Copies of this chain bind each other. A is one copy, B any other.
C-alpha cells in the first residue's frame, strides 16, 4: 500500500458513491489501475464493507446513552453468555471490554429516556449484572466512521504526503 492507496481510502471513507473514473482523476490515475487497487483492498479486507449511514433524528434514535457495567469476575461461561445477550440488542451499537474500573462499556441508541428505561429493563431481565451506571449524551458533537490514515504503514518508494 502506498500513498495512492491511502488517497483512495481517504476518499472512499467520505463517499463511496464516487465513480471509479472520478476517483481515478482525483488521485491521478486512469480508471483501470484505480479500479484494480480498490479490488485488491477489498480482497485484502482493508475495505471491510460499504454501507449507508442514516440520520439518527429521522430514524428516531437521537439519544445516545453510555452504559458502564461492572461484574463480579464471573465465570468464562457467564462472560460468554453476557456478550451474546448484549450483542443481539440492536440498540447496542458499540460494546467494549475495558481495562480499569469499568469492565464493559456500551453505547446504546434510543428515541428518548423512556425508551432507554424500557431497554434497560429488558437487558437486566435477560442477564444478571452487578453494577450498571448510565450516562446520557446531551449532544453529539462529532461522529465519524472515518479512521485516521496517518498511522497506516505505506511503501515509501516515491514518498508523498497525501
Contact = CB atoms under 8 A, between A and B. Distances in A.
Interface of A: 9, 12-17, 44-56, 58-61, 64, 66, 83, 86-87, 90-102, 104-105, 109-111, 115, 135-153
Q: How many copies does the complex hold?
A: 2
A123 to B, nearest CB: 14
Contacts of A86: 141-142
Nearest to A47: B52
B45 A9 contact: no
A77 B51 CA distance: 37
A100 B55 CA distance: 26
Given A99-B135, A115-B151, 20 more contacts: A9-B54, A12-B51, A13-B51, A14-B51, A15-B49, A15-B50, A15-B51, A47-B54, A48-B53, A48-B54, A51-B145, A66-B96, A86-B142, A95-B140, A95-B141, A96-B137, A97-B139, A98-B136, A98-B137, A99-B137
